[in-house]
Amino acid sequence: MLIQKMLHSAGMLTLSALLGGGLVAFSFEVTDQQIQANQRAALLRGLNEILPAERYDNDLFTDLSYVQNQTLLGTEKPVIVYRARKAGHPVAAILTPSAPDGYNGEIRLLVGINYQGQLEGVRIVSHQETPGLGDWIELRRSKWILNFKDRSLQNPLSNQWLVKRDGGIFDQFTGATITPRAVVKAVKNSLLFFQSYRDQIFK
């Protein structure tokens, strides 16, 4: 009788553990899917801030490529390029480079460049810069990042793609020159990459 009770209790414990584990796994899967959906929606909003949805008619999340160039893209890892097209014709590419030399480390960006080589826009994806100083690169903190719109390698000239302290045309922040300097350099390098590899990007 005692053995039967022990076996019954063990069986109930095992069943409870299996049910509990299954519920945890199910909850994790549902939560993970929701997180991924939210991340995708946030990324699409960022992409469409740079390139409005009416400018293209393809799916940016399937029409993409991976490129590598540590010197110009700031990381040794493959970098995603989202390719925008309309009626099959190339419209723009949105690169995801890094500025490895931010004040507190890597700054990740979205850099949109149209087929003619002009900037459609730049946004900051993530950074570790000092709140109240370096975080002025974020659109929610200032309009500084909007200064890149319509710029190209000819506007300004190559030697002016610098912050004003270094002889260029881009403002720096009071008490924080390293952060904007890193972003300006990363954006210029993205333009240089696009200029060299545009045809391969849209192939």
pLDDT on residue 72: 98
> Do residues 79 and 19 both lie within one domain?
no
**8 Å CB contact between 87 and 112:** no
Q: What is the pLDDT of residue 7?
A: 44
What is the extent of the structural domain holding 157?
54-201
Residues 6+ apart with CB under 8 A from 164: 170, 171, 172
Instruction: Please check whether residues 120 and 104 belong to one and the same domain.
Output: yes
Domain check: are 143 and 192 in the same one?
A: yes
pLDDT digits (tens, 9 = 90+) for 30-85: 576 777 676 667 787 889 999 999 999 999 999 999 999 999 999 999 999 999 99
Residues 6+ apart with CB under 8 A from 160: 167, 168, 169
Beta carbons of 75 and 100 less than 8 angstroms apart: yes
pLDDT digits (tens, 9 = 90+) for 178-201: 999 999 999 999 999 999 999 999
pTM: 0.81
Domain count along the chain: 2
Whether 34 and 110 map to the same domain: the answer is no
- Tell me the pLDDT tens digit for each residue of 106-155: 999 999 999 999 999 999 999 999 888 889 999 999 999 999 999 999 99
